[in-house]
Amino acid sequence: MNSKEIPDTPTEAAQLPDVVRLQVYLAHAGVASRRAAEKLIADGRITVNGRRVTTPGEKVQNGDDIRFDGNSVKPENKLVYLVLNKPPFYICSSYDPQGRPLALDLLPPSQPDNSPPLRLYNVGRLDYLSSGLIIFTNDGNFAARIGHPRSGIEKEYLVDSTVPIPDRVVEEFSRGLIIDGILYRAMSIEKTGKKSIRVVLVEGKNREIRRVFSHFRLHPQRLQRIRIGPVCIGELKESESRPLTTEELRLFEKYAENVHENIQSRSKTW
């Protein structure tokens, strides 16, 4: 797909209210997810009508001149949802000060040549050495919902070790272990060979599998994500991307609805 334009997406952007919080506006403009937008604001990279704003909760309205690093941003009118099979040695970021290749650059052009490109960003991350599925979108609401730690979205990995993996790794990771004060626990884990395992995570803390391997003096030779919720890697080759299907988007929305209901029910008991 890399030589082709991104095909039409199954949904159109919802109309924003006349007055919204700044981070919501930035999410709808495809600048970043709401959480990432809050950091951009705190870092002083956003201006509203020529004034630098550092408070995420500030309200903005239609007609305001909103800029990110000096560039004008406006809400997108076309929503894009892509899944990429990222090869190793690519960074999941919009910029890398070390000049390493960006996974974003593997995606096909988002617009015809005579139109400004859509701002796409990754939902979650895969580290530089890891490969596999990563989702890109310009829908900040979607990114916030499925990227929430309580989303309940399973992420499945295949991991090959440079040396045999002791059974205690599987047992302790399944039961839960604390490393540097942080609890790491796999939803499910199984050995698929002397040097390989299949792991399913839900919350997916930063570099979780690598930290657990390091704890046991192990080193992953390959770490590949093969599934995110309803999206499987299938026959998608490295560096290739495709749009999420309408059914996949529906299933992601179902995850989000369940999370919202669970949070609401818990809040009533507090």
User: SS3 for 13-78, per residue?
Assistant: CCCCCCEEEHHHHHHHCCCCCHHHHHHHHHCCCEEECCEEECCCCCEEECCCCEEECCEECCCCCE
- What SS3 state is found at 122? strand
Closest CA to 153 of 144, 161, 163, 141: 144
Phi, psi at 258, each rounded to 5°:
-65, -40
Q: How far apart are CA 154 and CA 201, in angstroms?
A: 6
Catalytic residue among 127, 160, 167, 180: 127
Whether residue 180 lies in the annotated active site: no
Greatest Cα pair distance in the chain: 61
Tokens describing residue 259: 């999370």
* Residue carrying the six token digits 């599934």: 227
* Active centre residues (catalytic): 127
